């Protein structure tokens, strides 16, 4: 019983921290749009309604296919940008946090010349833009399927207030 409660609590906490990180990324995307540097939008989840709306405006739905990367857009000048955003309260981030569909999509965009990366939050204190080739080749580069926060300093992203400067230094 206790383990079940702990799992449910951990699941709810993970959902909430993921939503908070998403809000931070959304605020950052608004900053880039307002400054004319990029237009980046959240990729909608493909879903199919299963019932009509109730009086509170709620309905049941199911996902129709695996999710694509979280964000897609274009930088000033025309280059596409595609990235996945992940939060962890731990000291490592696992390769398996991206689905096979997301990995395939990121690779396809990268091969076409898009700027692709995984944006990672460690405890809402430290943020990193991990380039797609480094994430994709993680098992070969690092010899394992996770990255330690201590290994990511060269990918650090600056932040101020509620804006992450994840496009700074991009060519």
The string of DSSP letters for 40-64 reads EEEPPPPEEE-S---TTS---EEE-
Whole-prediction pTM value? 0.84
Q: What is the pLDDT of residue 59?
A: 57
Q: What is the pLDDT of residue 102?
A: 93
- DSSP annotation of 152 reads -
Region of residue 169 (phi > 0: left; psi between -120 and 50: alpha; otherwise: beta):
left
What pLDDT sits at residue 14? 77
Greater pLDDT, 169 or 11: 169
- Contact between 103 and 136 under an 8 Å Cβ cutoff? The reply is yes
In the predicted model, is pLDDT for residue 157 greater than 60? yes
140 or 18, greater pLDDT: 140
pLDDT of residue 66: 56
What would the pLDDT profile of 67-104 be if each residue is shown by its tens digit?
A: 789 899 999 999 999 999 999 999 999 999 999 999 99
More confident residue, 11 or 47: 11
Per-residue pLDDT averaged across 32-58, rounded?
79
User: Which tokens belong to 133?
Assistant: 């080739």
Structure-model confidence comparison of residues 130 and 15, the more confident one: 130
In the chain, the percentage of residues whose pLDDT exceeds 90 is 70
Q: Cα separation of 12 and 6, whole Å?
A: 10
pLDDT of 49: 55
Higher-scoring residue by pLDDT: 48, 87: 87
């Amino acid at each position: 019983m206790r383990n079940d409660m702990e799992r449910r609590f951990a699941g709810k906490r993970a959902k909430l921290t993921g939503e908070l990180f998403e809000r931070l990324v959304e605020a950052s995307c608004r900053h880039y749009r307002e400054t004319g540097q990029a237009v980046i939008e959240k990729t909608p989840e493909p879903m199919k309604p299963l019932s009509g709306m109730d009086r509170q405006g709620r309905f049941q739905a199911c996902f129709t296919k695996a999710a694509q990367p979280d964000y897609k857009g274009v930088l000033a000048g025309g280059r596409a940008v595609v990235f996945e955003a992940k939060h962890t309260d731990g000291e490592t981030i696992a390769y398996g946090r991206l689905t096979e569909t997301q990995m395939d999509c990121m690779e396809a965009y990268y091969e076409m010349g898009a700027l692709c990366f995984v944006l990672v939050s460690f405890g809402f204190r430290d943020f990193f833009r991990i380039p797609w080739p480094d994430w994709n080749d993680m098992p070969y580069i690092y010899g394992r399927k996770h990255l330690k926060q201590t290994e990511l300093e060269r990918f650090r992203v600056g932040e101020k207030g509620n804006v992450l400067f994840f496009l700074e230094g991009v060519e």
